[in-house]
Amino acid sequence: MSITVRFAQRDELDAINAVRRQVNDHHVSGRPDIFRSGFCDELEQHIFEFFDTQDHSVIAAFSEGRLCGFASVYTFVKPLSSYNLERRIYGVEEFGVLRDFRRMGVASAMIDFIKKDALAHGIDRIELDMWEFNEGAYKFYKSAGFVTIRRYMELNVKGFPTRENAERILEEAGKLNNGAWISHSRVAARCAEAIALKCGDLDSEKAYVLGLLHDIGRRFGVSHFRHVYDGYTYLTKLGYPAAAKICLTHSFPNRDIKDYIGNIDVSEEQYEYIKDMLSNVRYDDYDRLIQLCDAISMPFGAVSVEQRMNDVKGRYGAYPQNKWEKNISLKYYFSVKCGDDIEKLTSEVKGDI
Ligand SMILES: [Fe+2]
């Protein structure tokens, strides 16, 4: 496949926007709680404004005459400050390759072009920033010789996303693996919120969010035990440890890994990791609440804990007796705690299907 790289012309920016749209979708999928979904007018126009700005250029890559990649680059002088020496920088603002043309050398060809262009400007360093979730991009930049010179960190104070961001996270997950689990998650969230509101000492928003995200590991595809591991690692990477903990604990009310109903579709190492995490984690009322809500939530709405367990038993052929008893005891625990009958309290909770 022959690849050519050159500076883009203004009438090629629409084709470049097709690549930018894919890059944006990738960002939305990776951080639904940060990036705007869709491709808004401002984002579409940005490349035209960038193109028209002095010391800014757009580079395009072509394969068999088709535009398949782009980079938007700029040069600037960072002035002397009390901290820094004056330095000239060649920056890469955006960089992307069309999905069908990845792993074919397009990105490497663009980096070669950028290196030559930087030197032509008398600049010997190229800078860019990237998102931590973007592991593929990190691997590529590293292989191209880039090194990390600075880290951009954040701490989510509550340990779980806002209600709105949790909804976005679930919505994006549904695009990757749609199924009854989405509605089941919403039912669990609605039940958790209703019970938490009655308890008085629980944060109902936190309960809702934790319920909504407890099965988020299913975003990576149809899985069994794996959704526990995937959900825990995914939300940990996103910086939401309280929500990640629920992904880990929701299937194990007795803290016994052998209670899992379904296939063990993880590696031995991943299984041992979850086992180790479970033995070290301390359960609180949020863990217990989502365990209960998971055990009463069907995709169409809330049911009694016995009805839901019988449904699971019917599908898998068995239900561990100690898990059965624990779920019943959780129902009584929360009935006493909130001074109301759990079935009555959640009887109006419906799903989206
Ligand atoms: Fe669940």
Which CATH number does the domain housing residue 80 bear?
A: 3.40.630.30
3-state percent helix, strand, coil for the chain, nearest multiple of 5: 55, 10, 35
Report yes or no on 201 lying in a domain: yes
Task: Give yes or no for residue 13 having a pLDDT over 80.
Answer: yes
Phi, psi of 177 (to 5 degrees): -150, 85
Which residues form the domain of 201? 163-346
Residues 28 and 91 in one domain: yes
Amino acid at 307: Q
Residues 235 and 137 in one domain: no
DSSP assignment of 336-352: HHHTS-HHHHHTT-B--
The residue-averaged pLDDT of 34-52 equals: 97
Distance 268 CA to ligand 1 centre (A): 23
Distance 107 CA to ligand 1 centre (A): 41
Distance 351 CA to ligand 1 centre (A): 13
Q: State pTM to two decimals.
A: 0.92
Domain finish residue from 112, 143, 174: 143
pLDDT of the residue at 161: 98
Residues 16 and 78 in one domain: yes
Residues 27 and 62 in one domain: yes
Distance 283 CA to ligand 1 centre (A): 17
Under DSSP, is residue 13 helix (H, G, I), strand (E, B) or coil?
Answer: helix
Chain segment 103-133, per-residue pLDDT in tens: 999 999 999 999 999 999 999 999 999 999 9
Q: Say how many domains are in the chain.
A: 2
The residue-averaged pLDDT of 200-212 equals: 97
**Closest Cα to residue 20, out of 44, 3, 52?**
44
Distance 338 CA to ligand 1 centre (A): 22
Between 128 and 260, the more confident residue is 128
Report yes or no on 353 lying in a domain: no
Residues 116 and 256 in one domain: no
Per-residue confidence band for 259, with pLDDT thresholds at 50, 70 and 90? confident
pLDDT of the residue at 111: 98
Distance 341 CA to ligand 1 centre (A): 22
Report yes or no on 302 lying in a domain: yes
Report yes or no on 152 lying in a domain: no
Residues 198 and 303 in one domain: yes
Per-residue confidence band for 260, with pLDDT thresholds at 50, 70 and 90? confident
Residues 178 and 318 in one domain: yes
Residues 85 and 215 in one domain: no
Distance 187 CA to ligand 1 centre (A): 10
Residues 196 and 104 in one domain: no
pLDDT of the residue at 17: 98
Residues 168 and 139 in one domain: no
Chain segment 323-348, per-residue pLDDT in tens: 999 999 999 999 999 999 999 999 99
Residues 112 and 175 in one domain: no
Distance 211 CA to ligand 1 centre (A): 8
Chain segment 150-172, per-residue pLDDT in tens: 999 999 999 999 999 999 999 99
Q: What is d(CA 226, CA 344) in angstroms, rounded to the nearest whole number?
A: 33
Average pLDDT, the chain: 96
pLDDT of the residue at 1: 75
Report yes or no on 153 lying in a domain: no
Distance 147 CA to ligand 1 centre (A): 41
Distance 278 CA to ligand 1 centre (A): 17
Report yes or no on 351 lying in a domain: no
Distance 184 CA to ligand 1 centre (A): 7
Domain CATH number, residue 235: 1.10.3210
pLDDT of the residue at 261: 83
